[in-house]
Every structure is written in C-alpha cells, then in structure tokens.
Amino acid sequence: MKVEIQRLILSLVIPLLLLLMLYAIKILEVGMGWDLSHFGIYPLHVKGVIGIITSPLVHSSFSHLMANSFPLLFLTWCLFYFYHSIAIQILTALWISSGCFTFIIGSPGWHIGASGLIYGLIFFLFLSGVIRKYPPLIAISLLITFLYGGIVWSMFPFFVKANISWEGHLSGGITGMILALLFKSYGPQKRIITDDEESNTDIETEEESDRNEQDAT
C-alpha cells in the first residue's frame, strides 16, 4: 500500500511541473506585455519550425490554458503511473511528432497550445490499453472513452470554429495511435497465468517417458 502511494505521488511530479511551467510562462507573458504566439507552429515556413518544440508551452489566453489544464494533468499522470517505464519516451515522441505533423498539414497561421499533446495522450492511452488486453489498462481506456470520447469531432474542420487548430488535434491523435502500435511490446503487459498443477503433470509425464525409454534400452 505504501509503495503504491509513493508511486502515485511520484507519477504526479512531472505532470505538475509541466503544468506549473505553462502557468509561469503565461503569467510572465501577460505581466511583461509580451506576445509569444510567434513561438507557435507556422506550417511549412522557416519561422514556424521552432514551434515544433515550443508551441505546447504557449496559450492564447488564461481561459485557453485553464481548458487544457485538467486534461493535461490527468492524462500525463495516467501515462507516468501506468506506463512509467516508457513514459518519458512516449511524452517526448508525442510532443515532437505531433508538432511535426502539424507543421506539415496545418493551415497558414500560428498554431499554439497543448491540445495536440492532449489528443496524442488520449489516443495513446486508449489504443494502448485495448491492444495490451491488461484489465487495469482496459479500464483506463474505458475511462478515457467516457471522458473524452466526444473530442473526435474536433479533429475535423467541419465541426470546429475557424480559430481552432483541428490540424493540431488530428496530428496528436494520429501520433498517439502510431506510438501505441510501435510501443505495444514495451511497458506493462497482460500477465500470463500458468496452471502449476498442469505444469507439474507435464513434468511428471516427461519424467515417466524418460524412464520408459531407459527401461527399453
């Protein structure tokens, strides 16, 4: 029990630090009167390349940041708690790959915010749990479906407002699914339960077979 509590707390460290960094950046931006939108992704343009790394750190307003806060905190916690051995690799790959996809398919304009990362986490956690067929992970998949199942519509231009980056959402979703497939053999796996009685019977049968062969010789 104590170990589980420690693991739960440790799994919150990086998600909380990430969220605090996002708020610190927004507070600094507003306090200093800066406009950090140029640190977003500007598709297919040299000035937007840096955004592949920095765009999830920048938000258009506090309301934009607050809308992303709980999903980002909860989903990154799920990643670090249930997939702790590969969490850093997954988060890094989601961060960079979703940004690269947005840079390629995005419409002209600055794409900012952590929404693409959030979509990547949602699709990774959902598909990875289904693939692994491990009850705790399947439970997380079902919870993700219940909480965020409706977001799939925000991945298409027909269902979102003009100022919302559906390309970032789509990029995150695609990246999450790809990583779930690529990392399906890494991290937590379904436990294989063996029947000791059956195993012992097999061993005894093999021993009897060996004795019979020796008697025959």
What is the mean predicted confidence (pLDDT) over 174-194? 85
Question: DSSP H helical segments within the chain, as ranges?
Answer: 2-32, 51-54, 62-82, 87-105, 115-132, 135-148, 166-182, 196-216
Res 163 pLDDT > 90? no
Res 14 pLDDT > 60? yes
Would you state the pLDDT for residue 199?
Answer: 44
Res 159 pLDDT > 90? no
* C-alpha torsion angle, residues 88, 93, 94, 98 (rounded to 10): 160
Q: Which residues pair with 111 in a beta bridge?
A: 41
Res 124 pLDDT > 90? yes
Q: What pTM, to 2 d.p., does this model score?
A: 0.85
Would you state the pLDDT for residue 3?
Answer: 77
Res 25 pLDDT > 80? yes
| 185: DSSP letter | T
What is the mean predicted confidence (pLDDT) over 37-47? 95
pLDDT digits over 100-117, tens only? 999 999 999 999 999 999
Burial degree of 145 (CB within 10 A; 0-12, 13-18, 19+): middle
Res 160 pLDDT > 90? no
Domains in the chain: ranges and CATH: 2-212 (1.20.1540.10)
Would you state the pLDDT for residue 194?
Answer: 54
Res 153 pLDDT > 80? yes
Would you state the pLDDT for residue 157?
Answer: 85
Phi-psi region of 167 (alpha: psi -120 to 50; beta: other; left: phi over 0): alpha
Q: How confident is the model at residue 79 (pLDDT cuts 50, 70, 90)?
A: very high
Q: How confident is the model at residue 193 (pLDDT cuts 50, 70, 90)?
A: low
Query: Please, what is the average pLDDT of the chain?
Result: 86
